[in-house]
Amino acid sequence: MRRTEAKAFFANERTFLHWMNMSVTIGSISAALLGVSAHAHKNWGSDYEGHAIFVRSISLVLMVLSIFMACYAAWSFNKRGEMLQAKMDGPYDSRMLPVLLAVILMVALLIVFSGAVAETAGWT
């Protein structure tokens, strides 16, 4: 019978905590963006209404992404834990989803950055 070392369980837990940390960070950024867009929409008048709606939609996408990441982290932690307890041979990694999440985050940051550049240059 194959022996599973304790460090494998700790690595699984560490991976889970890293995913949850990233999820909470993205969720916090999203909540801050929602708060700023609500304040801008309410207090700065109709001049910023379009920008507030744009920022609100970006922040809602990031919030959904954050919730999805937390659910994925929990599912992955449980699946890997079961595989470790059953002493199954790998694969223990996930190649597609982290790349997909990174691409989504880069696109969101690019949209926010290009909006800031357009605002600074006076194009909007």
- Model pTM? 0.80
Q: Using an 8 Å Cβ cutoff, are 48 and 41 in contact?
A: yes
Residue 1, in any domain of the structure: no
Per-residue tokens: 28: 């916090």
41 touches 27 (CB < 8 A): no
Residue 47: its pLDDT value, please?
A: 66
- Separation of alpha carbons 53 and 75, rounded Å: 33
Mean pLDDT on 79-86: 91
Does any domain span residue 15? yes
User: At residue 75, does pLDDT exceed 90?
Assistant: yes
Domain that holds residue 76: 6-121
Total domains, the chain: 1
| pLDDT at position 26 | 92
- Angle (CA) 120 121 124, round 5°: 85
The answer to whether 65 touches 29, Cβ cutoff 8 Å, is no
The confidence band for 15, taking pLDDT boundaries of 50, 70 and 90, is: very high
Q: What does the DSSP assignment read for 12-36?
A: HHHHHHHHHHHHHHHHHHHHHHHHH
